Amino acid sequence: MPSTRSAATRGGTGKPGDGGAVRLELLESLLVAETATQCAQRALGWLERRMGVRWAICLAAHGEGGPRLLPLASVGVAAQRMAGYAVELDLAGHPLTQALLAASPITITPNGDRTACTPLGRRVVQAIALAPPRRRDLPVGLIVAAPPTPALARQARWLGRVLGPRLAALIATARLQESERHLQRERGRLARIINAVTDPILLTDGDGRIVIANARAEGLLASDDDQSEGRRRAVALNNMLFSAALARHAMEGTEAPRHEVPLVDPADGSDLLFELLSTTTTDAREGTGIVSILRNVTDLQRATAELQEQYRKLRQTEAAARAERDRLDLVIDSVADPILVTDPGGNTVMMNTPAEHLFTAAESSSPEVQRVVQANDAHFSSFVSNLFFEGGTLRRSGRINLADPATGAALPMEAICGKIVSEGGEVTALVTILHDRTEELERARLYEELKRASAELELKVGQATAELVRQNELLRRSHIALEQASALKSQFLANMSHEFRTPLNAILGYTSMLLKGVSGELTDHQHRNLERIDSNSKHLLSIINDILDITRIEAGKMPLTVTDFPIPELVREVLSEVEPLVARSTLTVTTQIDEALPPLRSDRQKVKQIVINLLTNALKFTPEGWVTVTVSADAATDRVAVAVADSGIGISPRDQDVIFEDFRQADDSPTRRYTGAGLGLAICRRLAGMLGGDLTVRSALGEGATFTLVLPRRPPGDP
Amino acid sequence: MTVSALPILVLLVDDYPDNRDIYVQFLTYSGLRVEEAENGHQALDKAFTLRPDVIVMDLSLPGLDGWEATRRLKRDPRTRAIPVIALTGHALAGHSKGALDAGCDLFITKPCLPERLLDEIRAIVGAARPHRGDSTP
């Protein structure tokens, strides 16, 4: 019961003297009210408490939703019915509209149709227009209160004038706050949008000062004092660069809207490159400004540089490849063997000059040449096509028979093919090298011929060898036969010698005995005849001895007995033996002997035999004059020479070889003057040879002769 | 010492009668005693029987030849000391060596004059009987 309570506490309600305190109460509560609704609520509460109002509603023009009055606060009205009291101000004739426009508060009484359209129903109400802050404006709102008491009537005009401006101010404040919040939201959104852009965005004023910058732009162009020195310097540099770019942009105008601005990343000092997009904006209030967007093209530049590098490399590679290709062409062309490169379609991609010779023909060439070229092509194509479909080895060789277009001559070819396989394993090309086998075949043919000839030769050699073996065998047999014959000859000669000697022994023996008078005294005549028998017998004996010597030397059965002996003594011995011969002649025999000669090591008997022979020959063939025996030594060759010189008949150069042959004299005629078997010199030369020496002659017909026996001081092989 | 006072007894072995005859004539003429044999067997028989001072042996003999005869003589103690002079028409070196190997004391090749044989006999017997030469008349 509010009325009861207020009546009880206030007592003398309605007293005019109390009016000032009542108003003060309302003014105080209105001043502390913060919102329009609170303010209205308090005014209505005051009416209820002080003015005995049971039902009241405060309507105000909020400005939202057009010219209408909306309920702001109420007393005694159900909250859900509040909206029903809204008043459209364009409803002319509406009692509330009239109340609003009335100069002073009015009482509205329900009278038929005029009130029927109001929400007031049949209630009598006091309507109080709430005065606007300024006199010429429309009223702020309206309070409708019931019942219309006299106290209310007294305070109504005052209430209207107090509450109106207050409500207007609060509503305006609320509106302002609302629009400010809205603006803040919008600004926030805009800032988020700008900051969300990764490119730096700036708005600069006409003097180039930054008005607005997004986070990225601030990172590049703004710094705090607490940031590092490097960062601050980077920012300073960036500002300078950016200002310069802007200035350039301003000078060059929008014709060149793209400028590249190199900046430094303050975070890590790396170089960044931006493209500057600037737009000049003109605003009536703000003046001229420039909106700049910096687009980071560092990566783009890097990518471009890389692209250029790639391109350069590509060009280089291409050039290298071209050079390689040229070189390859040169190499391929320099190869004498035809080379062809074929693609999987069987088309010839490349061929060298020798290959062109085989597989291409000029239009003008003869039909014969064309035909051969076509045939070659067909052969090669079928060969190659087989290879493409074959799996397996990358390399293969085969043989194809082509022909030389120029001559028509057959060209047996060895084809060596290599498959060029892509990374995917597909055969992309086939390289074929053709090698002329003509020479090889010729060689093979020659080789076969050679083998055949060799086999023939071998056969012939075999036959010849067999023949040789046969001949050898014959030779061996004949050799054996010869040896046997030789042995037989030696045996025969030995036997002959024996058989000669036996009767000769008797002849000489008997003659000797007769001459010694064993059989009695002899007459001179008998004695002379016996001496001739004796002389001839001895000559016969010497011939037999010579023959035996020759036989023994030839049979290698002449033994040597080597001793050391002085030569002068030997020469004197020989001279004394031939003394009878010298005595019978008129010759002068002299000697020239080097007595200081060292002893000779040889077969004394053989040396003596030779010297006797030479000396007897000299005496025999020298009718008159002299014979000289000279003995000398040659220290250089360590040889001893015994020279027998005479002034005899001499020997013609033609005969100087003959005299050393068996059974020969210079004068071989049956009527020759000089006797002898002609074996002496032959034996002497053989003996000299056996002793390691030699026997030579120097002579001219009619001018005497010099026979020289040269002997080594020691026999060969002597230690 | 009567034996030593006797003239030298020579056993002359040769199958060729004329050669035997020459030496027999000359050696006998020269004061030596000579016995003859014409083959090897005969030579051995006479040597063992007569024990000559020297034996002159031809080597080519019918039947038992001179080499073999000499070997047997030199093997037998009765005849071992008797000098044997090989006298042969064989002039080759092999013959000489074969003869000396068989035991011959001297080798003489024919033809050999009778006076040379006498010299050789005297020399070889003189060596064997040193006082023999002094007691010769």
In tens, the pLDDT along A257-289 reads: 567 888 888 888 888 888 888 888 887 777 788
Task: Give the Cα separation of A194 and A509 in Å (integer).
Answer: 171
Candidates A558, A550, A634, A561; CA nearest to A603 is: A561
Task: Give the Cα separation of A290 and A213 in Å (integer).
Answer: 12
Chain A residue numbers touching B23 (CB-CB < 8 A) = 509
* Residue found under tokens 């170089």: A271
Q: Concatenated DSSP letters for A587-651?
A: -EEEEEE-TTPPPEEEEHHHHHHHHHHHHHHHHHT-SSSEEEEEEEEETTTTEEEEEEEE-SS--
For residue A490, what is the nearest residue in chain B, using CA coordinates?
A: B92
- Cα–Cα distances in Å, from A253 out to A249, A284, A297? 6, 21, 22
Task: Give the Cα separation of A631 and A529 in Å (integer).
Answer: 40
> If you count residue pairs, one on A and one on B, with CB atoms under 8 Å apart, how many are there?
71
CA dihedral B107, B113, B118, B123 (to 10 degrees): -40
Coil vs helix vs strand at A712: strand
As a CATH number, domain A336-433 is: 3.30.450.20
Task: Give the Cα separation of B90 and A149 in Å (integer).
Answer: 214
Task: Give the Cα separation of A318 and A169 in Å (integer).
Answer: 84
For domain A198-296, give the fold.
Beta-Lactamase (3.30.450)
Domain A437-558 has CATH 1.10.630.10: no
Indicate yes or no: CB of A541 within 8 angstroms of CB of B111: yes
Sheet of B54-57, strands arranged across:
B33-37, B9-13, B54-57, B84-88, B106-109
Tell me the Cα Rg of chain A.
83
Sheet of A626-634, strands arranged across:
A588-593, A626-634, A639-646, A705-712, A694-699
Chain A residue numbers touching B115 (CB-CB < 8 A) = 512, 516
Within 10 Å of residue A512's Cβ, how many Cβ atoms?
Answer: 20
Q: Is B136 on the interface with A (CB under 8 A)?
A: no
Going by C-beta distance under 8 Å and a sequence separation of 6 or more, which residues neighbour residue A356? Answer: none
Task: Give the Cα separation of B59 and B42 in Å (integer).
Answer: 14
Within 10 Å of residue A591's Cβ, how many Cβ atoms?
Answer: 13
What is the β-pairing status of strands A258-264 and A348-351? unpaired
Residue to substitute from A489, A505, A554, A560, interface B, most B β-carbons within 10 A: A505
For residue B17, what is the nearest residue in chain A, using CA coordinates?
A: A506
User: Tokens representing A427?
Assistant: 């055969």
Q: What is the per-residue pLDDT for A657? A: 81
Beta strands in A511-598 (DSSP E): 562-565, 588-593
* Interface residues of chain A, partner chain B, Cβ below 8 Å: 494, 497-506, 508-510, 512-513, 516, 518, 537, 541, 545, 548, 552, 557-559
Nearest to B112 among A494, A505, A513 (CB): A505
Residue A549 to chain B, least CA–CA distance (Å): 9
Question: What backbone phi and psi angles, to 5 degrees, belong to A69?
Answer: -105, 130
Specify the long-range contacts of residues B21-25, CB closer than 8 Å, at least 24 apart.
B22/A505, B22/A506, B22/A509, B22/A510, B22/A513, B22/B114, B23/A509, B23/B56, B23/B114, B23/B117, B25/A513, B25/A518, B25/B114
Vertex A116 angle, CA A114 and A119, to 5°: 115
Task: Give the Cα separation of A239 and A385 in Å (integer).
Answer: 73
Task: Give the Cα separation of B12 and B21 in Å (integer).
Answer: 10
Residue B19 to chain A, least CA–CA distance (Å): 5
Residue to substitute from B87, B95, B110, B115, interface A, most A β-carbons within 10 A: B110
Q: What is the per-residue pLDDT for A478? A: 84
Task: Give the Cα separation of A647 and A626 in Å (integer).
Answer: 6
Task: Give the Cα separation of B90 and B60 in Å (integer).
Answer: 8
Q: Is B45 on the interface with A (CB under 8 A)?
A: no
Task: Give the Cα separation of A539 and A620 in Å (integer).
Answer: 14
Tell me the Cα Rg of chain B.
14
Nearest to B111 among A504, A516, A548 (CB): A504
User: Tokens representing A562?
Assistant: 């080597």
Indicate yes or no: CB of A513 within 8 angstroms of CB of B109: no
Question: Measured in whole angstroms, how far is the alpha carbon of residue A239 from the centre of its chain?
Answer: 54
Chain A residue numbers touching B25 (CB-CB < 8 A) = 513, 518
Candidates A276, A197, A199, A280; CA nearest to A243 is: A276
Task: Give the Cα separation of A386 and A442 in Å (integer).
Answer: 29
Q: Is B19 on the interface with A (CB under 8 A)?
A: yes
Q: Where are the alpha helices (DSSP H) in chain B?
A: 2-5, 17-29, 40-50, 66-75, 93-102, 114-128, 132-135
User: Tokens representing A39?
Assistant: 């303010």
Instruction: Give this complex's ipTM.
Output: 0.78
For residue A553, what is the nearest residue in chain B, using CA coordinates?
A: B92
Nearest to B93 among A509, A512, A557 (CB): A557
Residue B12 to chain A, least CA–CA distance (Å): 15
Task: Give the Cα separation of B38 and A11 in Å (integer).
Answer: 227
What is the β-pairing status of strands A339-342 and A287-296? unpaired
Going by C-beta distance under 8 Å and a sequence separation of 6 or more, which residues neighbour residue A717? Answer: none
For residue A509, what is the nearest residue in chain B, using CA coordinates?
A: B113
Q: Where in chain A is the domain with CATH 1.10.287.130?
A: 437-558
> Are the C-beta atoms of residues A75 and A56 closer than 8 Å to each other?
yes
Residue A412 CB-half CA count within 13 A: 6
Task: Give the Cα separation of A280 and A249 in Å (integer).
Answer: 10
Burial tier of A101 (Cβ tally within 10 Å: 0-12, 13-18, 19+)? exposed
CATH architecture of the domain A560-712 equals: 2-Layer Sandwich (3.30)
* Residue found under tokens 């607005």: A212
Q: What is the per-residue pLDDT for A15? A: 46
Nearest to A513 among B19, B26, B60 (CB): B26
List domains and CATH numbers for chain B.
7-90+102-131 (3.40.50.2300)
> Are the C-beta atoms of residues A662 and A679 closer than 8 Å to each other?
yes
Q: What is the per-residue pLDDT for B137? A: 38
Whether the model pTM is above 0.80: no
For residue A545, what is the nearest residue in chain B, using CA coordinates?
A: B91
Q: Where in chain A is the domain with CATH 3.30.450.20?
A: 198-296, 336-433
Coil vs helix vs strand at A172: helix
Indicate yes or no: CB of B16 within 8 angstroms of CB of A506: yes
Nearest to B25 among A505, A508, A518 (CB): A518
CA dihedral (B13, B19, B23, B24) positive or negative = positive
Chain A residue numbers touching B112 (CB-CB < 8 A) = 505, 509
Q: What is the per-residue pLDDT for A108? A: 81
Residue to substitute from A496, A499, A501, interface B, most B β-carbons within 10 A: A501
As a CATH number, domain A2-179 is: 3.30.450.40
* Helix B114-128 with B17-29: angle, nearest 10 deg: 60
Q: Concatenated DSSP letters for A647-685?
A: -SS---GGGTTGGGSTT--S--STT-SS-S-S-HHHHHH
Task: Give the Cα separation of A396 and A424 in Å (integer).
Answer: 21
Tell me the helix, strand and coil percentages in chain B, rounded to 5.
50, 15, 35
Residues of chain A scoring pLDDT < 70: 1-19, 62-66, 91-93, 111-121, 253-258, 389, 391-392, 662-678, 718-719
Indicate yes or no: CB of A512 within 8 angstroms of CB of B114: yes
What are A229-239's pLDDT values in tens digits?
Answer: 888 888 888 88
Task: Give the Cα separation of A687 and B67 in Å (integer).
Answer: 31
Going by C-beta distance under 8 Å and a sequence separation of 6 or more, which residues neighbour residue B16? Answer: A502, A506, B58
Chain B residue numbers touching A552 (CB-CB < 8 A) = 92-93
Q: What is the per-residue pLDDT for A3? A: 41
